[in-house]
Structure formats: structure tokens, C-alpha cells
Amino acid sequence: MRLVRAVVIATVAFLSLSVPVFADQTYHSENLPLSLTPQGSAAGEPQLRSGHVVNIHTQGPVNFAIEGYMLNGAKANTIYRVVLSLKAGGCGGPFLFLFPNGATVVTDVQGNGHNQLKVTPVQVAALGLHGAHLGITWLMVDGPIAAYGTPCSDVHIDWQRPRCQWRHSRAAAGASGYYMTTNVTVVVCVTLPLTPVMTSV
């Protein structure tokens, strides 16, 4: 019985120490309304019944961010390209450039459409965006016309990943002068900032 109890204690010690601890288990999301731009109005784009961009920062090891797009009442049978208007240092900063992120929203005969884009940590690192502070306006672009846009959003881009290493530990249990020592290998994870592979966009 003592031997069994010792093995159980050693197993519990292994399980409790081998679970990786991530820096951030939460995520932040923002729902940004889309509205007709002056350029879109002048070009004859219809007023939306509703529309939004949902920006979710999971900051996880698989999906760094997920963006969702929805148009209701836009031009029928149209491909809208998603383009980000970027400012340095937040919404009050100077304009940087327009960045097509590769996503599109295709509307049906009623002018409705939706899509989703998943951004990986590898993509963020490749663009050198770790630690960046940007002001971002999402635009829905029809040909050369920025038809719809969101309010500017202050976005702080950061991520931490766990770095794990193997360590050797010992768990012991005993009573009445009798004990057994069990060697246990555990994984210990610490969080470190993700180092981008590029330092500039």
C-alpha cells in the first residue's frame, strides 16, 4: 500500500508540473461598425443596412488574431477587398500606408456577404510587428473605391510564447521509517517575448 501511495504521489507531481503555463490565456475582441465613406457615396455605393469588422486577439500559438467581416446591404454580386489603413503610434499618429491583407468579402444578390481571416504568429513575426503600436482603419474596397470603413482602432501587437525545457525531479513518500524515492522528468515552461525575424515592415 505504501508503495502504491508513493507511485500515486509521484504521478501527481509529474502531472502538476508538466502542464505548460502560457503567458496570456485571455483574448481581447473589438466590434467595429462599417459605414459608407464619402468616396463610396460619391461613387454610388449603397448605404449599408448593417456591417462590422470583429477583431479578436487570441494571441495564441496557432492563431494570433482572427478577423471577421460582415456586409449587409452593400452592392450586389461584388467582391470587396479588405484593406487596412495604417497609422504609426496609434490613431493620432501619421499615416503609414494601405495594406491589403488578402481577405475579400463576396456579396450575394441582396448585397450580403461575410468572411473570416486568421492571422498566425509566424505571419506577425515575418512582418516584424512584434511590439508595434498602430492605428488601424479597416476598409472595404470595390475596385479603386474605398466604399466602407471602420472607425480607427488603437492596436498594440504583442505576443509571448512558452519556452520549455526538461528538468529532472525527485518525488518521495514514506511512513514509519519506510520510503521510496521515484525519479520524475517534468517539463517546465517559462514565457519569453517572441522575437521577430524581421525588424521593419
Using DSSP's 3-state secondary structure scheme, residue 112 falls into coil
- Structural domains in the chain (count): 1
- Domain span including residue 126: 1-201
Work out the angle at residue 63's Cα, subtended by the Cα atoms of residues 83 and 99, and round it to the nearest 5 degrees. 15
The DSSP code for 157 is: -
Q: What is the pTM of this model?
A: 0.66
Count of alpha carbons within 13 angstroms of residue 91, beta-carbon side: 9
Torsion sign, CA atoms 43, 44, 45, 50: positive
Using DSSP's 3-state secondary structure scheme, residue 94 falls into coil
* pLDDT, tens only, 161-185: 444 444 444 444 444 443 334 444 3
Other Cβ atoms less than 10 A from the Cβ of 119: the count is 20
* pLDDT, tens only, 87-141: 999 999 999 999 999 999 999 999 999 999 998 888 888 888 878 889 999 999 9
